[in-house]
Structure 1
């Protein structure tokens, strides 16, 4: 688990440490004990919010120094964290706990739902927090817990409760992954729900990616398909004969994707123009901006520079 900002990368490593690395050279800025794999990790307004598995707490660290600013005790098995403005929303993971809101600056409790809530990984969007479970999606006001909008989906959201299911494509349009093959568009201004894509093969159980003005859908057994975000029409398909890792990255006017053992440079129309072997097995790519990416491999993070001609 890791997060990247313009200046640093925060990663949980060695099962017991939370480490902040400098974006430029990878040097360690701070290193603090944080127990086994945290349930969630969020960076907001110069603060790092962590949900360790034990003890059940929400811990707020200074992103610059790693110093603890505050912590609060939570119900057992609390999960999911999202920060909106000066509010932090916690809860909803697997329906174990209520949703509860806290002040970002001092951890002061703001409100809590009267009963436990089950929701997919929340998303900051539309001036609120988008949540969903089953065939329902709703937009919540983070400051008071009030409902701002609700949508009835034509089929249930994908069941993965650790990975994203929603993809914002504009201030009033968001896409939701439903069922094994569907992508549903939610419109905030009109309240409409439309099936944007019903793919012809099964998709990986996670949110679509919105990169370079196109929506990318990772297929379960093959590659990526790109579609138009408004019409849902097919643009191109990337198939390199093996499954592709998670993550599409802009590079040199085109794109870069990865398989377990190689990076592939794509033209703006999605056609493969170059293959660069990679010694380690890549499980995911994450864009750092400025022509740089992080490749997640087994037990390591590796920063790569992508020039205008080829990945290296």
Structure 2
């Protein structure tokens, strides 16, 4: 077997990757329709349990703060990560979405172009700035002290403290519409990848301002951010499978074709990797992508997260499950 279950928690609702945040020793998850719960990362015991509202559009941990944007309250709530106590709340326009935090600020808004983007002081919730008009952007990313945003054929970097523009890039194709999911992937401190058009991944370089086509596929890719795990860039194909790409030159390394839709999340397993299908089948891969082992777990898997130390967390339609990744002994 690939591993054993260390602990499992019933959510009493459908699990969502955007409603789970993981730190070194905590897992924060939305459950039971209106509750936000902080669990011990190692044994699943409850550290705190507070009411927060329904179906959060984002749960983000930033240092000793937990930021939650609930669907029904039009509020950004900042909680103390240790106790769950409310530190501050900020009212937002209806249909606000996207939350990104830096060391000192929180930026919210821009989802589907419904609302302006606005920034708040992370410590006390003090408003810092707001765009004059609704702004469309994919999910922003904190990058080198700035915040990277993008829409259409442009990406731009802003100063989180005052909203002024620090840099702008013209893209060869429009950014893929990833909705509430991540769009940007850092592969090193100076280089960020983003999906553009139906088949391309573009790299932008912070120091030089260059925009290069990193990879172009011969069939459509999913509209989602690349994953960077174990020194490999992972791209999701529209048909079942992952495509592995060299992060240096963008050359194709291998395909992972298991004839089952795979969920987001690649876990490092020693020299190899683990992926999981929507049907709950775990696949152990060799370092060249060859399938060594497979085993059935649970159905209705939503996402997989690497916890490090040979462990991973699986989000399903109704549970959280933490699983060990045991060293493999025999190939298939």
TM over 0.5: yes
- 1:31 maps to 2:56: no
Counterpart in 2 of 1:174? 192
**Deviation above 4 Å: which 4+ runs of structure 1?**
none
SS of alignment partner, residue 203 of structure 1: coil
* CA distances 1:165-200 after superposition (whole Å, capped 9, x unpaired): 111111110001111111000011111111111111
Match 1:70 to one of 88, 94, 99: 88
Residue number in structure 1 paired with 2:161: 143
> What residue number does 2:305 align with?
286
**Matches of residues 102-121 of structure 1 in structure 2 within 5 Å?**
102-121=120-139
The answer to whether the aligner puts 1:232 opposite 2:269 as a matched pair is: no
Looking at structure 2, the residues matched to 301 and 2 of structure 1 have their Cα atoms a distance apart, in angstroms, of: 9
Q: Following TM superposition, by how much is the alpha carbon of 1:54 offset from its aligned partner in structure 2, in angstroms? A: 2.1
Higher mean alpha-carbon deviation, 301-310 vs 21-30, is at 301-310
Alignment of 1:202-213 (within 5 A): 202-213=220-231
Q: Distance in 1 between matches of 2:106 and 2:151?
A: 20
Q: Distance in 1 between matches of 2:112 and 2:281?
A: 36
Give the unaligned 5+ runs of structure 1: none
CA RMSD of aligned residues (A): 1.2
* Alpha carbons 1:252, 1:309 under 8 Å: kept: no
- Of the three residues 230, 233, 237, the one matched with 1:215 is 233
TM-score of the superposed pair, with normalisation by structure 1:
0.97
Matched residue pairs, number? 310
Q: Secondary structure at the match of 2:162?
A: coil
Structure 1 pair 39–281 and aligned structure 2 pair: CA distance change class (3 A): closer
Match of 2:12 in 1: none
Structure 2 segments unaligned to the other structure (5+ residues): 1-18
Equivalent pair of 1:208/1:218 in contact (CA under 8 Å): yes
Aligned residue number for residue 16 of structure 1: 34
Residues 283, 296 of structure 1: 8 Å contact kept: yes
Judge conservation of contact 1:175–1:184 (CA < 8 Å) in 2: yes
Q: Deviations over 1:196-231 (max 9, x none)?
A: 111112111110101111110011112111111121
Deviation of 1:241 after TM superposition, in Å, equals 1.9
Q: Does 2:303 align with 1:275? A: no
Counterparts of 1:103 and 1:180 in 2: how far apart (Å)? 37
Q: Which deviations, in whole Å up to 9, do the C-alpha atoms of 1:150-178 show, x marking residues without a partner?
A: 11111111112200111111111000111
Match of 1:58 in 2: 76
Corresponding residue to 2:61 among 36, 40, 43: 43
Query: 1:159 aligns to what SS in structure 2?
Result: coil
Residue 191 (structure 1) aligned with residue 201 (structure 2): no
Aligned 8 A contact 1:52 1:58 in 2: yes
